[in-house]
Amino acid sequence: MYYCLTCQDSHHPESKAGKLFRTGFRTFPSGEKLPLGVCLKRVEQEQASNKKVS
């Protein structure tokens, strides 16, 4: 499991394995520690936002 900065949720690495940047760890109130990552949704969002002028 890792914590996705894009989705603000935890993922299994296998589910969105195309892009995963490990930048550190996030500690949750429960005491659980998960590596931080960015899944493919981030790339899709950036590509979409680059096309929009907003």
SS3 4: strand
Q: Which is nearer to Zn ion, 7 or 34 (CB)?
A: 7
**Interface pattern 2-41 for Zn ion (x via CB under 5 A):** --x-xx-------------------------------x-x
Minimum distance, C-beta of residue 54 to Zn ion, in the bound complex (Å): 22
Minimum distance, C-beta of residue 4 to Zn ion, in the bound complex (Å): 3
Tell how far CA 46 is from the center of its chain.
Answer: 13
CA distances from 17 to 35, 36, 51, 53, 54 (A): 14, 13, 25, 30, 30
